[in-house]
């Protein structure tokens, strides 16, 4: 009997781990009370064991140091087909729908007959034509099982179907109803299509168009997105690889995951417990680089304008883009005025000159602003620019240009804040007192005025008709309000015709025509037991609209609503009833109790 040095319960499985002085670690099944696996070591004794509280990791300390190991393989057996993911979890085949994120159990899988650990399925292949699944494992060396998924897709029965079994590994479907199996015991032929200098390859992944293939090592898992970018996972990062070989980091991982699919900014994966997860990633970087690589410059501009790209991306894009208009917008975004001016000289379009002037004005580059305004001949903006800069000399030149164009408003804008021209304005309009005060301040700088004109001040014209307003008119209105007939009658509003319809009609049609839909629905519910009134809604609206007339006498007068009644041709006293809309099946509606 060997002495046991340490015993530990596993955090998630019904097993016990122990190490003894026979230089081994043993795994015991709690339910069967048998040893299912042993890990011997030749030269060192194991002294202590520890288990991770969440992950499938174990640690053991020995004489030379320590080791960290796993009892079972964690890489899931899965297969992606369109919008569905098929995978094996514990002893069930499950499928996951990416669009709805719904996880469902399909059929149970046969458990291996052996009691050893690490006998879970390793690969899975799915055939959509026959709805078959190939499950491969290391049981009996290497074996596969062929299951047929029922048509209802979801099985609630735990009965294991009789699967077709065979010896061999890495079974995959090659056509809709045929699959290939690798058997090491039998002789086979190998065709070499090409040689590559790569590290040890464990897996390969084909692109969606079946024109590119990616090779992976033991610890990587990957997929292709819709844009043709290869997204893969290493031990603690999610990375991307472009068709030209450029790569980068998308996201840092706290725990390992197993990528299954990527759609836009959503990455679907399986965690260590083989639960489906949806992880949000930022695909802006590699989609932006891919757009540059494929020369999709409209997408590049859209990314720069709308995305939260870091500074420097427009400058980088300038080295890739060849289109002049696209480079112009990139230079604007990167605040590179010199390149923008050079590009605009080649483009020479008015809209681009205006955009250049606005950007240069924001940066305070007055020279470029003036140059852009000259190319567009925007004289009003010239005047504003010189006014802001306080350039009186250039404002005088703009005033002469406005005089040659006979543009009075432009002349007015150019003489603003110029005292010399204010004197002339006051003199022309006959305000001599104000003009003399300004002349005393200006001294010899008083301008010469036009001769032979009689100055006059512009005044608003006199009104041709004046409406009497004030207290006199109000007193007359008050006196007119008291002019009654002396009978002291209190005139009140009469009862609307629609209200009379409601009072005199015990049928739902009269209430609906009057607009009282609630009472109409209560009557129908009490008499006929109707609960769903949605089909009757159009009929109610037709009854109400058809039993009223709307009159607008004048354009500014309110609309007069008139109730349309029937029975005007009768000789006896008229019974106030709503007139049915023309074309409504009156007999049928009367029979079911609407009218």
* pLDDT higher at 126 or 485: 126
> Of all residues in the chain, what percent carry a pLDDT higher than 90?
1
392 — pLDDT class (breaks 50, 70, 90): confident
- At residue 65, φ and ψ (nearest 5 deg) are 155, -130
- The radius of gyration of the chain's CA atoms, rounded to the nearest angstrom, is 45
Q: What is the pLDDT of residue 592?
A: 44
| Tokens describing residue 198 | 């790569």
Going along 58-199, which residue ranges are E strands?
58-62, 65-69, 78-81, 84-89, 92-97, 102-108, 123-127, 132-137, 143-148, 164-167, 169-173, 179-182
Q: What is the pLDDT of residue 56?
A: 79
Task: Kindly report, residue by residue over 401-427, the tens digit of the pLDDT.
Answer: 887 888 777 777 777 666 666 666 666
Distance between CA 293 and CA 228 in Å, rounded? 12
Q: What is the pLDDT of residue 580?
A: 62
Q: What is the pLDDT of residue 593?
A: 47
Average pLDDT over residues 381-396: 78
Q: Is 70's pLDDT higher than 70? A: yes
Q: Is 154's pLDDT higher than 80? A: no
Distance between CA 93 and CA 125 in Å, rounded? 12
Residue burial 572-591, b: 16+ Cβ < 10 Å; e: rest: eeeebbbbbbeebeeeebee
Q: Is 564's pLDDT higher than 70? A: yes
Q: Is 282's pLDDT higher than 80? A: yes
Lowest-confidence pick of 75-79, 193-197, 242-246, 299-303 = 299-303
The answer to whether residues 8 and 51 touch, using CB atoms and an 8 Å cutoff, is yes
* pLDDT higher at 132 or 497: 132
C-alpha atoms less than 13 angstroms from C-alpha of 222 in its C-beta half-sphere: 26
Q: Is 429's pLDDT higher than 80? A: no
Q: What is the pLDDT of residue 587?
A: 43
| Tokens describing residue 422 | 């204010």
468 — pLDDT class (breaks 50, 70, 90): low
**Residues contacting 480, CB < 8 A, separation 6+:** none
The answer to whether residues 168 and 182 touch, using CB atoms and an 8 Å cutoff, is yes
* pLDDT higher at 305 or 213: 213
Torsion region of 443: left, alpha or beta (phi above 0 gives left; psi -120 to 50 gives alpha) = left
Task: Kindly report, residue by residue over 80-137, the tens digit of the pLDDT.
Answer: 888 889 888 878 888 899 888 888 888 888 776 666 676 778 888 888 888 888 888 8
In the beta sheet, which residues pair with residue 34? 29
Q: Is 40's pLDDT higher than 50? A: yes
The answer to whether residues 334 and 318 touch, using CB atoms and an 8 Å cutoff, is yes
Average pLDDT over residues 203-232: 85
- Torsion, Cα of 382, 383, 386, 392 (10° steps): 140
> Sign (positive/negative) of CA torsion 530, 535, 541, 547?
negative
Which secondary structure element, helix H or strand E, spans residue 40, and what is its range? Answer: strand 34-40
Distance between CA 122 and CA 109 in Å, rounded? 13
Task: Kindly report, residue by residue over 223-276, the tens digit of the pLDDT.
Answer: 888 888 999 888 888 899 998 888 888 888 888 888 989 988 899 998 877 888
Q: What is the pLDDT of residue 590?
A: 47
Question: What predicted TM-score, i.e. pTM, was given to this entire model?
Answer: 0.51
37 — pLDDT class (breaks 50, 70, 90): confident
447 — pLDDT class (breaks 50, 70, 90): low
Distance between CA 322 and CA 308 in Å, rounded? 24
Question: Helices then strands (H, E): number in the chain?
Answer: 18, 30
**Residues contacting 177, CB < 8 A, separation 6+:** 127, 129, 130
Average pLDDT over residues 35-53: 85
Q: Where are the domains of the chain?
A: 4-69, 78-182, 203-288, 289-407, 418-458, 497-592
Q: Average pLDDT over the chain, rounded to whole?
A: 77
Average pLDDT over residues 327-351: 77
Average pLDDT over residues 525-543: 86
Distance between CA 82 and CA 102 in Å, rounded? 15
**CATH: 1.25.40.470, 1.10.3720.10, 3.40.50.720, 1.10.287.70. Which one for 289-407?**
1.25.40.470
């Amino acid at each position: 009997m060997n002495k046991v040095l340490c015993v530990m319960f596993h955090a998630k499985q019904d097993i016990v781990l122990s190490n003894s002085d026979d230089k081994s670690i043993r795994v015991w099944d709690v339910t069967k009370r048998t040893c299912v696996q042993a890990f011997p070591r030749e030269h060192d004794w194991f002294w202590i064991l520890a288990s991770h509280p969440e992950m499938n990791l174990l640690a053991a300390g020995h004489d030379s140091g320590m080791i960290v190991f796993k009892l079972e393989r964690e890489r899931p057996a899965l297969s992606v087909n369109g919008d569905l993911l098929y995978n094996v979890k514990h002893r069930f085949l499950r499928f996951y729908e990416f669009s709805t994120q719904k996880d469902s159990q399909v059929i149970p899988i046969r458990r291996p007959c052996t009691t050893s650990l690490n006998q879970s399925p390793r690969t899975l292949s799915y055939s959509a034509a026959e709805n078959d699944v190939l499950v491969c494992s290391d049981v009996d060396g290497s074996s596969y099982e062929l299951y047929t998924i029922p048509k209802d897709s979801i099985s609630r029965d735990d009965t294991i179907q009789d699967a077709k079994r065979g010896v061999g590994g890495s079974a995959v479907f090659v056509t809709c109803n045929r699959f290939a199996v690798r058997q090491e015991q039998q002789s086979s032929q190998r065709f070499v299509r090409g040689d590559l200098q790569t590290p040890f390859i464990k897996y390969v992944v084909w692109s969606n168009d079946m024109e590119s293939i990616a090779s992976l090592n033991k610890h990587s898992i990957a997929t292709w997105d819709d844009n043709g970018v290869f997204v893969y996972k290493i031990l603690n990062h999610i990375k991307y690889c472009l068709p030209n070989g450029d790569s980068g980091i998308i996201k840092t991982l706290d725990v390992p995951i197993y990528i299954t699919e990527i759609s836009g900014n959503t990455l679907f994966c399986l965690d260590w417990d083989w639960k489906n997860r949806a992880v949000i990633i930022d695909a802006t970087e590699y989609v932006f680089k891919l757009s540059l690589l494929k020369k999709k410059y409209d997408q590049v501009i859209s990314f720069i304008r709308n995305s939260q790209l870091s500074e420097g991306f427009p400058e980088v894009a300038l080295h890739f883009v060849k289109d002049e208009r696209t480079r112009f917008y990139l230079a604007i975004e990167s605040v590179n005025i010199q390149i923008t001016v050079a590009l605009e000289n080649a483009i020479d379009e008015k809209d681009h000159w205006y955009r250049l002037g606005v950007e240069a004005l924001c940066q305070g580059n007055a020279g470029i602003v003036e140059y852009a305004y000259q190319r567009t001949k925007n004289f009003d903006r010239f005047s504003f620019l010189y006014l802001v800069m306080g350039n009186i000399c250039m404002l005088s030149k703009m005033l002469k240009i406005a005089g040659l164009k006979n543009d009075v408003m432009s002349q007015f804008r150019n003489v603003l804040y110029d005292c010399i021209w204010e004197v002339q304005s006051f003199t022309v309009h006959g305000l001599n007192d104000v003009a003399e005060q300004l002349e005393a301040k200006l001294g010899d700088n008083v301008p010469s005025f036009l001769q032979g004109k009689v100055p006059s001040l512009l005044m608003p014209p006199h009104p041709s008709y004046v409406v009497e307003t004030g207290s006199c008119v109000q007193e007359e209105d008050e006196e007119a309000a008291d002019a009654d007939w002396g009978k002291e009658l209190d005139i009140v509003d009469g009862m609307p015709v629609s209200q009379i319809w409601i009072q005199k009609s015990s049928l739902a049609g009269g209430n609906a025509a009057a607009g009282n839909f609630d009472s109409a629905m209560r009557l129908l519910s009490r008499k006929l037991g109707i609960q769903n009134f949605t089909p009757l809604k159009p009929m109610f609206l037709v009854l109400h609209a058809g039993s009223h007339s709307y009159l607008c006498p004048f354009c500014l007068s309110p609309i007069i609503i008139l109730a349309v009644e029937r029975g005007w041709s009768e000789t006896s006293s008229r019974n106030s009833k709503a007139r049915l809309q023309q074309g409504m099946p009156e007999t049928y509606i009367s029979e079911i109790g609407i009218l």
